[in-house]
Structure 1
């Protein structure tokens, strides 16, 4: 089997450098052939295109815009009353994705509104999310792009995020029923919310369109001290013949390059 493919999340890695263009160069110099990022929208698109072409680095994933971060937004896909803004954000994400030849967009669900009870608004938010995902699926399919939904844990990272477990995400995907809307598995969030990683990966593998990694509980390098045996997990994904990229979305303990020993060891052992 071909070795697993890793991409640098340049919203988290190489943050020693101030802009995304420099981080793409740094990722390429470190041996990455692909990158992903959360929000590139403050960067000059033509400059990003130029750097991508100069390095040959593939851009494999970006997120839809978060909304008004200062007002507490973190995505709009499931948020009541924000449907028009979600569509506008999708258009912007699509513009960047097309320009960068990126084939995956994380369609962020967003947070339960302040003052609302999660249980009381759950059905309404799910219905809005399903509707928006169906709309996005049709738009993205014309461009050959896959939309992704990602559960984010509500125990540590974001207590108000609407989509917080693989089980909830799978139920929503079933209601959406579009082949180009898939599940983004961030192992960090899955472990915190549900554990049971082996069974959940096997159960939901047919739905998975992208993987991200970080150690639990401190979200550092995969080989740092923590709960997850990444050697085992990589072997599990390899046995399942996972063909996509694995996004390195973690907080380096030191300078990014100093913490890449785990990846260099993997590359060496895979040759």
Structure 2
């Protein structure tokens, strides 16, 4: 079975360093060959491209812009009435992705409006999301970029996030019906919302276009104390033949470098 590939999420790792360009260098020095990030839109594209060139790193994944975070936004894909903002955000994400030769964009769904009943708005939000995803599929397929949707748990991380389970995501993907949109599996969120990881991973594996990891419930390193058996889960992904990157999207308990023993041991076993 081929070895798995890991990328550093530089929105979560190496945050001891204030600049993303510094984090790129730190990730390369730590042995990573690739990185992912939530949002790089405050950074100059040319500067990022130069840093990518200097480090030799691959940029694996970016998120679409979140919208007005101070105003309560966390993505716009499923938010009715914000379709034009979603499209502008998608254009910006594609601009950065093309410059960085990044082939995956997480299309953030967004939140249920404050004070709204989730059940009452679910159908309209889903219809908006499907419509926006179909538009994104047309745009991304022409650029050779894969769009991804990610369920985020509503029990710990974000009670208002619209897309919160792999089952809901699979239903939406079926309605979109386009190979340029797939499922982003963060096992941290999946475990909190549904558990049953072995069966869910096997069931939805054909839909999965990217994987992220963190221990539950602390969201620390995979080898920290918690609910998840990562040697087993990684072996399962190896067995299934997963060939994409696995994003390390966790909160280091101490310094990032001190917490990388788990991945360095994996690399040494698979040299």
Q: CA deviation at 1:207?
A: 0.1
Number of matched pairs: 271
**Gaps (5+ residues) in structure 2?**
none
For 1:115, what is the secondary structure of its paired residue?
coil
Per-residue CA deviations over 1:100-124 (Å, capped at 9, x if unaligned) read 0000000000000111100000000
**Which residue does 1:95 correspond to in 2?**
95
For 1:71, what is the secondary structure of its paired residue?
coil
How far, CA to CA, are the matches of 1:164 and 1:111 in structure 2? 10
User: 1:158-237 to 2 correspondence within 5 Å?
Assistant: 158-237=158-237
Per-residue CA deviations over 1:176-209 (Å, capped at 9, x if unaligned) read 0000100000000000000000000000000000
For 2:183, what is the secondary structure of its paired residue?
strand
How far, CA to CA, are the matches of 2:223 and 2:79 in structure 1? 36
How far, CA to CA, are the matches of 2:150 and 2:57 in structure 1? 24
CA RMSD of aligned residues (A): 0.4
**Which residue does 1:140 correspond to in 2?**
140
**Which residue does 2:247 correspond to in 1?**
247
Provide the TM-score with structure 2 as the length reference. Answer: 1.00
How far, CA to CA, are the matches of 2:168 and 2:2 in structure 1? 32
Per-residue CA deviations over 1:152-185 (Å, capped at 9, x if unaligned) read 0000000000000000000000000000100000
How far, CA to CA, are the matches of 1:49 and 1:78 in structure 2? 31
Per-residue CA deviations over 1:220-253 (Å, capped at 9, x if unaligned) read 0000000000000000000000000000000000
Q: CA deviation at 1:54?
A: 1.0
User: 1:21-170 to 2 correspondence within 5 Å?
Assistant: 21-170=21-170
How far, CA to CA, are the matches of 1:3 and 1:115 in structure 2? 47
Per-residue CA deviations over 1:40-81 (Å, capped at 9, x if unaligned) read 000111010001111110000000000000000000000011
Per-residue CA deviations over 1:242-266 (Å, capped at 9, x if unaligned) read 0000000000000000000000111
For 1:91, what is the secondary structure of its paired residue?
helix
How far, CA to CA, are the matches of 1:265 and 1:45 in structure 2? 34
How far, CA to CA, are the matches of 1:30 and 1:48 in structure 2? 19
**Which residue does 1:12 correspond to in 2?**
12
How far, CA to CA, are the matches of 1:187 and 1:2 in structure 2? 21
How far, CA to CA, are the matches of 2:123 and 2:227 in structure 1? 33
Runs of 4+ in 1 over 2 A off after TM superposition: none
Provide the TM-score with structure 1 as the length reference. Answer: 1.00
Q: CA deviation at 1:2?
A: 2.1
